[in-house]
Structure 1
Amino acid sequence: MVPGGESAVRVLDRAEIRTASVGEMDNDAYLVTCRRSGAQLLVDAPTDPDRLLSLVREGDGTGRLDVLVVTHRHGDHLGAAAAVVARTGARLAAGEHDADEVGRACGRTVDTRLRHGDRLTVGDLELEVVALRGHTPGSVALALTEPEDAHAPGATPGRVHLFTGDSLFPGGVGSTQGDPERFTRLLDDVRTRLFDRYRDDTCVYPGHGDGTTLGAERPHLAAWAARGW
């Protein structure tokens, strides 16, 4: 994370990932840019549409935005979504079980209702949708996998980049408001759909604060289960 309104940038073989922190709750917005085509995807639009539009311009220099994915229906992740979509013409996407509430909050219909296992194409990039139920019914993560022939400086063949919204953070899963059934569902999804599937070098980009890796968090899964939140 880079303070002071600047964006942290990670350059991969085929993609660039820019991170901006906005708002009083230290919400993160992530811009994924296809290096070949200039196509762009924004993960969450928490607040401060002018800052987010500046982030989009940093990606390709033109302000092009192809799709905005809202990871879940909570207001601190979509407060600027209507403005960003109106000013860029981007498609609005959200998890199928949160899509109606996201649409109502934005005053428009969600264009793409995301389901577990769906794939979003952004230029030459493909991101897989991972449903993580519990924080909200329709919370989704996005998985971007580096190609096996990646060779750019800083790239790692086959490494995955996960944009997890409020479902996974350094130190635990997202809040389930003390509901044991929701907590169990979320922890089970995080365990089976993320930790059981992806390598330890998988990079995690959460909805607030700093990132982590699955390897850094894996040893603590049993402790998370035991504490129950």
Structure 2
Amino acid sequence: MGAEGRARIERLVTSGTFSLDGGTWDVDNNVWIVGDDAEAIVIDPAHDAGAVADAVGDRTVTAVLLTHGHDDHIRHAREFADKVGAPVLLHPADLMLWDAVYPGTAPDAEIADGEVFSVAGSELVAIHTPGHSPGSVCFRAESLGTVFTGDTLFQGGPGATGRSYSDFPTIIESIRTRLLTLPGDTEVNTGHGDSTTVGAEAPHLQEWIARGH
């Protein structure tokens, strides 16, 4: 139990589907667990609540943070939160996406830009990054040299903006002003696929803009 008090990052990959605008796609999602041997925060417990609960084990989950409201990220969040007795938090600009999955209910709390979530001696700061969805949020853990970007920034470029509630100029502005301003060695832990760094992605901003028009 020597790791108590020193937060670490664990990734679990789960598989399922994403549905929006009448289409359904198979997807693999990254579930991020940040904490120590005693407590943890879970980001986007997708697809398999049981597997995520097994990965957490007997740790206290202080919060379930959702990077955005697409159904692959939230459909099993309530089930997982109930298993571990934790609150589910979502930015209010994505409540219409929440309502599509959980009609007549609400998340336990809202995420505000700049809000700080503490776990195992580390802090995660919420960064509102609209574009992929209106309420997309990234979480920066400065002490861990990491930002969790959900579906806002991936290895190779911005998240998709071709579906409802998304907007390409908005996601580019979010990435340019809120993420690429972070130190270049900041690790970018994404909602799908491999991690990258701010420094690896920043030089390609103009290419993304050209590609997106």
TM-score range, shorter chain: 0.7 to 0.9
SS of equivalent to 2:98: helix
Could you say what the CA RMSD is over the residues aligned between the two structures, in angstroms?
2.2
The AA in structure 1 aligned to 2:159 is G
The answer to whether 1:215 aligns with 2:199 is: yes
> What is the aligned partner in structure 2 of residue 165 from structure 1?
150
Within the candidate set 126, 133, 137, 1:136 is matched to 133
The AA in structure 2 aligned to 1:201 is D
Output aligned runs, 1:59-208, within 5 Å: 62-99=58-95, 101-102=97-98, 105-106=101-102, 108-146=105-143, 160-177=145-162, 182-196=167-181, 198-208=182-192
Stretches of structure 2 that go unaligned for 5 or more consecutive residues are 17-26
The answer to whether 1:22 aligns with 2:24 is: no
For residues 28-50 of structure 1, the C-alpha deviation after alignment (integer angstroms, 9 at most, x for no partner) is: 00000146xx2210000111111
The AA in structure 1 aligned to 2:168 is F
- Per the normalisation by structure 1, the TM-score is 0.80
Residue 100 of structure 1, CA deviation: 5.3
Give the direction of change, closer, same or farther, for the CA distance of 1:103–1:56 in structure 2 (3 Å limit).
Answer: farther
The AA in structure 1 aligned to 2:30 is D
Number of residue equivalences: 199
Hey, what's the Cα distance between the residues in 1 that align with 2:44 and 2:124? 15
Deviating 4+ runs (over 6 angstroms): none
Q: Is the 8 A contact 2:129 2:137 kept in 1?
A: yes
Hey, what's the Cα distance between the residues in 2 that align with 1:55 and 1:41? 12
Give the direction of change, closer, same or farther, for the CA distance of 1:178–1:63 in structure 2 (3 Å limit).
Answer: closer
- Per the normalisation by structure 2, the TM-score is 0.86
Stretches of structure 1 that go unaligned for 5 or more consecutive residues are 1-10, 147-158
Q: Which has the higher strand share?
A: 2
The AA in structure 2 aligned to 1:202 is T
SS of equivalent to 2:210: helix
> What is the aligned partner in structure 2 of residue 48 from structure 1?
48
